[in-house]
Amino acid sequence: MNPADDAGLSHSAVPDHTVPDHTGRIAAMARTGEVDVVILGAGINGAGLFRDLCAQGVSCLIVDKGDFGSGTSAAPSRLIHGGLKYLETGEFGLVAQSTLERNLLLKNAPHYVSPLPTVIPIFSWSKGMWAALRTLLGSTSAPRSRGAILIKIGLAIYDFYGSRHRVMPRHRLVGRRRALRDMPALTRSIVATGTYYDAKISHPERLVLELITDGLAASMLAAAANYTALVSSSNGVLTFRSKGAGQSEDSGVFSVRPKLVVNAAGPWIDDVNALLGAPSKMIGGTKGSHILLKHDELVRSLAGRMLYFEADDGRICLVYDYLGLALVGSTDIQADNPDTVRCEPQEIDYLLESVRALLPGMSFGRDQIVYAYSGIRPLPASDTSVPGLISRDHSAPVAEPEPSRPFPIISLVGGKWTTFRGFAEEVANTVLNRLGRGRKVTTRSMAIGGGKDFPTEAVARTAWLAEARSATGADLRRLDQLLSRYGTKALQIARHQSPWSNEDRLPGASDYGTSEIDYIVRNEFVEHLTDIVMRRTTLAIGGSLTMGDLKQIAAIAGRARNWGSQRISDELDAAVAQLGDKNLVRL
């Protein structure tokens, strides 16, 4: 029996579609053999640069050895923040850029980025002043406790830097009695709380994908390939091999001759530079781990706010409501092997103990964990003994051409989620200058993906939904759900002509439709089952995924991608193993 039949396929629907021929652009590029820029690594920094260069009319190829946005960019705290902590190390320029970029993202990606009121519990009035001054002057130790006076000064400076394109309120400080009335679960040992505003991102992996698809839409001279590895660099020619399943050894091999290469491989930068013939030691990352808890009492107590606090050892931790779960993070441990990174038991103990100390009236245990993840921050190499003091700023050193390597290599070192657009703009200007071209457009006010024409006001949202209902005939509640999930790209999904019924939903995650999944598989560079549940949707991290859902999604993907029963079985096994081993998901 066809797996799709078994899963309830509607045979009355339109005939099969074919997966969009993204390989067509690769083939055209390989035929000419020439391209202006190759970007190696499709995380947030690589994808941001790709979109910028495409908008300038540069012929550009971006490749990633895994899925788009599947490395470090899939393991952040899911915050879009201005870097309050960077004031302590004197990185005022980074704070200025971060607060600006945060404000721009709230405008350019309102479908994924939203304001996040943040509460800092304060345990003294004057501690940390001299220690903070020493840190500001270059000391290698950070203050272990920051009192109300120090936090008040920091928040005032933070508001000043965030004044450009301001979209959120200024900070406020309240005493113990008011703080405990606002949030009774906090420990009674506080003396005050400070509240300021940053932002959160609901789906960072999709934003990476949208940057890439925006780039492809902007330029027919551009191409993108996931699951494609660089296998050699010789005499100016880069050779790649697609790792797509079912391909013969040679069918996925192609070569191009770039004028310039950008190494955006994050924690793998030094490995890639070695393969390019330009050995380096640029990266010395730290590891961050996060857990998501099914804890309704905590989520209610947070009431949409984030707690940003110091653990007993002085490291910064946070907890906030993410998709109805409590996201707790993050650790900050020196580490340099992104291929083996996972959330270790001792890190889980550390995170649980940290929130227990802050919220002593609540219970916390491993049985509440529905998802865990870990990643390596690709920070600049550093000999500091305090990981939190390693700069979060970015740089783009250039390895100039050599006789055996006629192209320069620009390595994207450091950087953070919030500043990707500004970093991309800086590097794009360098690239354009080296190519002898000028900038055509700015990305400062350029909407991203489904953020284009997104209705942020209630009246505009009602009007958009009414128009979409008229155009598609879809249920208003369903359209509202899709708009929240995909921004204005919801209209394309609602219009999608699928061999699956528009009314059918996944058995466990009933807010996801089978036609919606079919659209994702056919249009969003899906190669594996994990791409769908971990990056194109929030099914896994949101804690709603069931084995029944996974089988249904595999059937949909199998139908769209012509997977046989063995491939479907292999994909299921691989997804279950990865989710269980690395993400602690119990299906």
pLDDT of residue 245: 46
C-beta separation of 483 from 523 below 8 A = no
Among positive and negative, which fits the CA dihedral 490, 537, 456, 421? negative
HEC string of 89-141 equals CCCHHHHHHHHHHHHHHHHHCCCCEEEEEEEEEECCCCCCHHHHHHHHCCCCC
Structure tokens at 434: 């080296």
Residue with tokens 């991203």: 448
C-beta separation of 384 from 46 below 8 A = no
**Cα atoms in the 13 Å half-sphere on the side-chain side of 126:** 0
pLDDT of residue 389: 53
pLDDT of residue 24: 87
CA distance 354 to 229: 40
pLDDT of residue 384: 56
pLDDT of residue 4: 38
Residue with tokens 């659209």: 519
In one letter, which amino acid is 323? L
Sequential pLDDT tens for the chain (587 residues): 333 333 333 323 333 334 446 778 999 999 999 999 999 999 999 999 999 999 999 999 999 999 999 998 999 999 998 888 777 777 888 888 999 999 999 999 999 999 999 999 999 876 655 455 555 555 555 545 667 888 888 888 888 887 777 677 888 999 999 999 999 999 999 999 999 999 999 999 999 999 999 999 999 999 999 999 999 999 999 999 998 644 544 568 999 999 999 999 999 999 999 999 999 998 877 888 999 999 999 999 999 999 999 888 878 899 999 999 999 998 777 777 788 889 999 999 999 999 999 999 999 999 999 999 998 888 777 655 555 555 667 899 999 999 999 999 999 998 889 999 999 999 999 999 999 999 999 999 999 999 999 999 999 999 999 999 999 999 999 999 999 999 999 999 999 999 998 889 999 988 999 999 999 999 999 999 999 999 999 999 999 999 999 999 999 999 999 999 999 999 999 999 999 999 999 98
Cα-based angle 486, 22, 489 (whole degrees, multiple of 5): 15
User: Is 453 exposed, middle or buried (CB count within 10 Å of its CB: 0-12, 13-18, 19+)?
Assistant: exposed
pLDDT of residue 324: 96
Contacts of residue 490, defined as CB under 8 A and 6 or more positions apart, other chains included, come to: 450, 468, 479, 482, 483
CA distance 475 to 481: 10
C-beta separation of 226 from 527 below 8 A = yes
- The kind and range of the H/E element at 172 are strand 172-175
Q: What are phi and psi of 12, to 5 degrees?
A: -80, -5
pLDDT of residue 485: 97
What letter does residue 283 receive in the DSSP assignment?
B
CA distance 430 to 56: 13
The domains of the chain, with CATH numbers, are: 3-17+497-583 (1.10.8), 22-72+205-283+392-435 (3.50.50.60), 286-377 (3.30.9.10)
Structure tokens at 81: 């923040």
CA distance 434 to 436: 5
Nearest to 579 by CA among 537, 515, 530: 530
pLDDT of residue 243: 80
C-beta separation of 316 from 310 below 8 A = yes
Q: What are phi and psi of 339, to 5 degrees?
A: -80, -20
pLDDT of residue 139: 52
Structure tokens at 113: 């980025």
Task: Please tell me the pTM assigned to this model.
Answer: 0.91
Structure tokens at 194: 């400070």
C-beta separation of 389 from 73 below 8 A = no
Contacts of residue 170, defined as CB under 8 A and 6 or more positions apart, other chains included, come to: 159, 196
